[in-house]
Structure 1
Amino acid sequence: MADIARRPFLRHLRAETTSYVQHLRNGEVRHAGAGIAFWFRPATAALAEVPLDDREQTLLFHARTADFQDVTVQATVSVRAVEPALAATRIDFGIDPRTGRWRAAPLEVLGGLLTELAQQPALDLLATLGMAEALARGLAPVRDRIAEALAADPRLAERGLAVTDVRVVAIRTDPEVERALQTETRERVQQEADRATYERRAVAVERERAIAENELANQIELARR
């Protein structure tokens, strides 16, 4: 947040190096840049402050798998204002000239836009996967699909924004369903382990039988001699 010092009829603004500030008076740009400082009259000034550092937006939405099961997707998208002057004209980053605080909630607007852009490609992909596959191996495919969709969508570039990172943190389903799947998996693993143990024992018994038959054959041969 920009630091604004008060003087009679004047204000002095000092911006952080990670913030782009734009000062307009009568519709004309008077000051613009990152980390700048200037005097202005609050009665005639229109100010905007656009963060230049990467901003993480957490996305949370519901989807349905190919077998008609509901899952919840939690993702994180990092976005940066690569053209802050353009961003200031497309999203309301306006700040109060007296307090330096945003008048609106631009990050919430940005989060809503990112959710809208990321949700549909994720929904389309998850609709082709079964629930078990989505839970077990869905993180990377969903992440890649979201990243591709965001990179290709012109609405971010039109707002001076670029996505720098996409992470899908979790794909979850109802806790009871998850527990049932975990139980089923444990039982399957146990069955496979039991089968492997049985096969090893069967091989050992067969080996012992072969050894015993060989010893018996040797004894018979010696008796004949």
Structure 2
Amino acid sequence: MATIRTIGPVAQLRSEASRHVIRYRNGRVRQSGRGLVFWFRPETASISEVPMDDREMTLFVRGRSRDFQAIAVQGTIGWHVVDPERLASRVDFSIGLLTGKLRGEPIERIEARIIGISSQAVLQHLGGEPVDALLAAGPEPLRGKLEAMLAADPALSEIGVAAVSVRLTDLAPTSELERALQTPTFEALQQKADAAIFARRALAVEKERAIAENELAARTELARRETLLITQEAENARSRAAGVAQAHGVEAAAEAERIRLVEGARVGTEQQRVAVYRDLPPAVLLGLAARELAGKLETIEHVTVTPDLLAAALGEFRRAAPQVAAR
């Protein structure tokens, strides 16, 4: 904004280097330049101040794709003045000669024209493609088309303004459409996640099966070894039993042989005794029997001799006496 100082009937204007000042007098340009300082008479002068710095404006356009889906485009457009005198002749940039401020809003008028041109280009681009193609391509094709249209549009060049940059920060559908478009991708990712979970579970089941098979194989091998051990122990027990039985058989045979020998000797002795006793008279045998009996008896308290026993003993003695005498 220019600084104006009034001293009596004249005033001094001091402008900044980023401002182009044009002083008119009687409808003609008297002074024109950037960063001017001059004196003038307020009652006869008309002054315009045009900003020469780069400016940026916000762009927001909501349109529809070829398949009638709402899409919002957001970004910024940079512009600057290339011909300040032409712009001042087409748009009112006059300032108050007491305050130095712009009397109107020329910047808003220029930006409105730029927004109109940009909106038309955006709507044409959005309406020519379906929503999936627009979203897949992104904002770059639209940015290039918008730059070309702004550079070629005569509505800007004829007022001395040029667009210097176009930046699009967002090209997005509505939230409902965005969720709908995200659903296939989300479902595909979810399917991949489920497939990974299933694969992990299958791997875990396979590992558990392998572990179970290893455990079963180990148990089978242990059972086989236990069977071999039991068989070997049974064989050893049978061998021990056979050895013990054989040893007992040998012992029994030895004992039987010993008994046979002893009994044979005893029988031979008895046979010899019987042979000796065979030729003895009955009285002698009776006496020997009595002596044998008496040797085995410890105490005889009573002896009963009946007449029959005494008669029989005497009769035997009488019969045996002649035989003994004859010998």
The verdict on how the C-alpha distance between 1:37 and 1:72 changes in structure 2, with shifts beyond 3 A counting, is same
* Alignment of structure 1 residues 32-181 onto 2, 5 Å: 32-181=32-181
Give RMSD over aligned pairs: 2.5
Give the match for residue 320 of structure 2: none
Whole-Å separation in 1 of the counterparts to 2:185 and 2:120: 31
- The higher-RCO structure (CA 8 Å, 6+ apart) is 1
- Cα-to-partner distance string for 1:73-124 (whole Å, 9 max, x where unaligned): 2221111111111111111111111111111111110111101111112111
Whole-Å separation in 2 of the counterparts to 1:146 and 1:166: 7
Answer whether contact 1:59 1:111 (CA < 8 A) is retained.
Answer: no
Give the match for residue 10 of structure 1: 10
Answer whether contact 1:58 1:111 (CA < 8 A) is retained.
Answer: no
Give the match for residue 316 of structure 2: none
1:49 shift after superposition: 0.9
**Structure 2 unpaired stretches of 5+:** 208-327
1:193 shift after superposition: 4.3
SS of equivalent residue, structure 1 residue 95: coil
Answer whether contact 1:63 1:72 (CA < 8 A) is retained.
Answer: yes
- The normalised TM-score by structure 2 is 0.57
1:180 shift after superposition: 4.1
Structure with more helix by fraction: 2
SS of equivalent residue, structure 2 residue 50: strand
Whole-Å separation in 2 of the counterparts to 1:157 and 1:201: 68
Whole-Å separation in 1 of the counterparts to 2:158 and 2:101: 25
Give the match for residue 287 of structure 2: none
Whole-Å separation in 2 of the counterparts to 1:60 and 1:94: 30
The verdict on how the C-alpha distance between 1:148 and 1:193 changes in structure 2, with shifts beyond 3 A counting, is farther
Answer whether contact 1:71 1:173 (CA < 8 A) is retained.
Answer: yes
Structure number with greater Rg is 2
SS of equivalent residue, structure 2 residue 115: helix
Answer whether contact 2:61 2:122 (CA < 8 A) is retained.
Answer: no
Q: Count residues with an aligned counterpart.
A: 207
1:47 shift after superposition: 1.1
Whole-Å separation in 2 of the counterparts to 1:10 and 1:173: 60
1:172 shift after superposition: 3.2
Answer whether contact 1:74 1:169 (CA < 8 A) is retained.
Answer: yes
Whole-Å separation in 2 of the counterparts to 1:37 and 1:159: 26
Q: Which amino acid aligns with 1:130?
A: P
Whole-Å separation in 2 of the counterparts to 1:128 and 1:188: 29
Q: Which amino acid aligns with 1:105?
A: E
SS of equivalent residue, structure 2 residue 21: strand
Whole-Å separation in 1 of the counterparts to 2:74 and 2:50: 26
- The normalised TM-score by structure 1 is 0.81
Q: State which drifts further: 187-196 or 157-166.
A: 187-196
